[in-house]
């Protein structure tokens, strides 16, 4: 049998989404994380706020002996591992800062942004988020945004995006799409999870789906039983059965840093959806309580690798899940870009 611990720390491990980090890498190193897509500003930030928060990350990257490496190409992912750094893929969970000034995509790319989500949970100028009931779909401005992101080699994330907006973006895009942190709606019927047709469409476009350890998205609604790694693996294998092993990845949707357990989940004002509220009322409001009972921080992630080994996954399949698949797709997207 494969030695899971050795495999986990030997593989390239990329977390597809961390929603907040204070710059401390201790927990990431304990979990064997080589690189991660970090949301570098608040989900509902406007342009000035986004620039201010991105500047904070440039300050962290510029410190003497910084443990971080800015990732702009797929080769940087390998560099991060070989140089014993933690690679940061700078990302947005909402392109609201762009507003209707599409030239800002060129500027943000020059700042190092390499992954952008079309919408957060609610409507913006580009389309509908997953909590909008009208489902108006991708706007004309949104179509232009998709084409520009393709041109620049900016990966497009659909994790919080509405159903019709996702389908429209997939149709318009000339490049693969990402779902960095979402699970299967067939197993947990929440707006944030993805239907079978979306999973298929992302895979057929050449993209990846990053399964998440976030508790509400793994929960079967049984108030007497908090979800565990076993529930998470059900989602992972369900996605694999639809999309194939080459289209699975992971995105924890964790916060990480020195003050992880006390870190504010809501940075500023945003609107929580009822799927979170229901889960938190039963299992707790602090950050660790919002995740799997047996996997609620990065240092727990080797347990998932152990579970996949026990499930009989082949080594190459596990390496793909841990980071190989995401690296392959990001390389294709980023290599197509210019600017």
What integer is the mean pLDDT of 329-333?
98
Please tell me the distance from the alpha carbon of residue 334 to that of residue 330, in angstroms, as a whole number: 6
Query: What's the pLDDT score for residue 92?
Result: 98
Please give the class, per CATH, of domain 4-335: alpha beta
The DSSP result for 107-138, as a single string, is HHHHTTEEEEES--SS-BTTB-BTT-SS----
Decide if 147 contacts 157 (C-beta within 8 A): no
| DSSP letter assigned to residue 323 | I
- Does pLDDT of 29 surpass 70? yes
- Which burial class, exposed, middle or buried, applies to 24 when counting CB atoms under 10 A from its CB (0-12, 13-18, 19+)? middle
- Does pLDDT of 273 surpass 80? no
Q: How many CB atoms lie within 10 A of CB 10?
A: 14
What integer is the mean pLDDT of 36-41?
98
Q: How many CB atoms lie within 10 A of CB 195?
A: 14
- Which burial class, exposed, middle or buried, applies to 66 when counting CB atoms under 10 A from its CB (0-12, 13-18, 19+)? middle
Query: What's the pLDDT score for residue 305?
Result: 98
Question: Coil, strand, or helix at residue 41?
Answer: coil
Please tell me the distance from the alpha carbon of residue 280 to that of residue 226, in angstroms, as a whole number: 11
When pLDDT is cut at 50, 70 and 90, the band that residue 261 belongs to is low
- Across the strands, what pairs with 117? 157
* CA-closest candidate to residue 252, choices 325, 162, 327, 321: 321
When pLDDT is cut at 50, 70 and 90, the band that residue 265 belongs to is very low
Question: What residue spans of the chain are helical by DSSP H?
Answer: 4-10, 26-30, 47-62, 74-82, 104-110, 140-152, 163-172, 196-204, 229-243, 274-283, 301-310, 315-319, 325-335
Mean pLDDT, rounded, of the chain: 94
Please tell me the distance from the alpha carbon of residue 102 to that of residue 144, in angstroms, as a whole number: 8
Domain extents for the chain? 4-335
| DSSP letter assigned to residue 214 | B
The 10s digit of each residue's pLDDT in 293-309 is 999 999 999 999 999 99
- Name the more confident of 137 and 271: 137
Supply 72's token pair.
Answer: 């702009």
- Dihedral, 233, 132, 165, 104 alpha carbons, nearest 10: -100
- Does pLDDT of 163 surpass 60? yes
Please tell me the distance from the alpha carbon of residue 176 to that of residue 326, in angstroms, as a whole number: 11
When pLDDT is cut at 50, 70 and 90, the band that residue 27 belongs to is very high
Query: What's the pLDDT score for residue 134?
Result: 84
Q: Tell me the whole-structure pTM to 2 decimals.
A: 0.96
**What Rg, from alpha-carbon coordinates, does the chain have?**
18
Supply 40's token pair.
Answer: 């570098």
Please tell me the distance from the alpha carbon of residue 209 to that of residue 88, in angstroms, as a whole number: 19
Supply 79's token pair.
Answer: 């560099």
Q: For residue 255, give the H/E element and its range.
A: strand 254-256
What integer is the mean pLDDT of 128-149?
94
Q: How many CB atoms lie within 10 A of CB 120?
A: 24
Please tell me the distance from the alpha carbon of residue 295 to that of residue 212, in angstroms, as a whole number: 11
Q: How many CB atoms lie within 10 A of CB 278?
A: 15
Instruction: Give the percent of the chain with pLDDT over 70.
Output: 95
When pLDDT is cut at 50, 70 and 90, the band that residue 263 belongs to is low
């Amino acid at each position: 049998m494969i030695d899971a611990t050795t495999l986990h720390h030997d593989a390239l491990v990329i977390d597809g989404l961390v929603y907040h980090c204070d710059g401390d890498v201790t927990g990431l190193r304990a979990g064997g994380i080589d690189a991660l897509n970090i949301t570098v500003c608040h989900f509902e930030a406007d342009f000035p706020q986004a620039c201010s928060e991105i500047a904070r990350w440039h300050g962290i990257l510029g410190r003497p002996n910084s443990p971080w490496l800015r990732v702009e190409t797929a080769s940087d992912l390998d560099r991060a591992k070989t140089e014993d750094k933690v690679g940061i893929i700078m990302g947005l969970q909402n392109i609201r800062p762009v507003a209707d000034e599409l030239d800002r995509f060129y500027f943000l790319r020059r700042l190092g942004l390499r992954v952008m989500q079309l919408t957060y949970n609610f409507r913006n100028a580009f389309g509908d988020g997953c909590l909008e009931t009208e489902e108006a779909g991708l706007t004309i401005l949104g179509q232009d945004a998709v084409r520009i992101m393709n041109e620049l080699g900016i990966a497009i994330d659909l994790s919080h995006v509405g159903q019709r907006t996702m389908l429209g973006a997939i149709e318009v895009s000339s490049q693969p799409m990402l779902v960095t942190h979402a699970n299967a709606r067939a197993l947990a019927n929440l707006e944030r999870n993805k239907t079978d047709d979306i999973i298929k469409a992302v895979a057929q476009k050449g993209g990846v789906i990053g399964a998440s350890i976030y508790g509400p998205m793994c929960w079967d609604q049984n108030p007497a039983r908090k979800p565990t790694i076993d529930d998470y693996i059900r989602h992972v294998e369900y996605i694999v059965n639809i999309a194939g092993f080459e289209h699975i990845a992971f995105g924890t949707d964790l916060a990480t840093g020195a003050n992880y357990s006390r870190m504010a989940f809501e940075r500023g004002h945003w609107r929580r959806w009822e799927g979170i509220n229901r889960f938190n009322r039963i299992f707790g409001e602090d950050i660790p309580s919002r995740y799997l009972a047996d996997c609620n921080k990065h240092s727990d992630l080797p347990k998932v690798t152990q579970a996949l080994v026990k499930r009989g996954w082949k080594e190459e399949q596990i390496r793909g899940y841990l980071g190989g698949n995401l690296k392959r797709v990001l390389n294709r997207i980023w290599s197509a870009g210019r600017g």
